[in-house]
Amino acid sequence: MALLLAAPALADDTRQLDAHEHGVGTLDMALDGETIVIAFQAPGSDIVGFEYAARSDADVAAVDAAKKALGDPLALFGLPDAAGCEVEDAKVEVEGGEHGDDHAGHDDDGHRDETGHTEFHAAYEITCSNPDRIDALTFFYFDVFANAREVEVQIIDPTGARAFEVDRDRPVLDLGR
């Protein structure tokens, strides 16, 4: 259970240490017994192709579709069928500007500073009946979000902490379990 409590702290540390980088998301995963907790973050440019608050009907539709897609973690981050995994909880948020945000007093002029970047954040809890069968993680995420190029992955499990980089050319992460 301590691993589960560490996951949010790990995610916060990662976001604070890493600069916002287009094309690069982060996935922090903690495995404890039959429970997996995942914190995922990606720039708006990776997910919907823009980082400003949704302005048009098309922008709003893109954000809504992205939130729906991000709400299905097993369709994005595939675990082996033999592990018998099911999603218990999935939460998706847009930080830094979601449709309906009021930008009164802000003259955008097409220029945005670094603090104006929109990011998508998701938190998942997954249970697996056979967690010992989790030997890989397949990033279908790259098929769903065409602008995404790389995901920096940190995993904490009973064997320790490990870090990986996964990209669209190598979307399968071998966990070597």
Rg of the chain over all Cα atoms, to the nearest angstrom: 17
Q: Residue 161's pLDDT is what?
A: 96
Band the pLDDT of 3: cuts 50, 70, 90.
very low
Q: Residue 112's pLDDT is what?
A: 40
Q: What is the pLDDT of residues 138-166, one digit of tens each?
A: 999 999 999 999 999 999 998 899 999 99
Q: Tell whether 20 is covered by a domain.
A: no
Phi and psi angles of residue 91, each rounded to the nearest 5 degrees, phi first: -125, 135
Alpha helix segments (H runs only) across the chain: 2-17, 44-47, 57-70, 73-76, 141-144
Band the pLDDT of 176: cuts 50, 70, 90.
confident
Q: Tell whether 108 is covered by a domain.
A: no
Q: What is the pLDDT of residues 19-74, one digit of tens each?
A: 556 679 999 999 999 999 999 999 999 999 998 888 999 999 999 999 999 999 99
Band the pLDDT of 99: cuts 50, 70, 90.
very low
Q: What is the pLDDT of residues 128-139, one digit of tens each?
A: 999 999 999 999
Q: Tell whether 77 is covered by a domain.
A: yes
Q: Residue 21's pLDDT is what?
A: 64
Q: Tell whether 144 is covered by a domain.
A: yes
Q: What is the pLDDT of residues 77-87, one digit of tens each?
A: 999 999 999 99
Cα dihedral 95, 70, 46, 6 sign: positive
Q: How far apart are CA 13 and CA 41, in angstroms?
A: 12
Name the domain count of the chain: 1
Q: Which domain holds residue 149?
A: 2-15+25-103+113-174
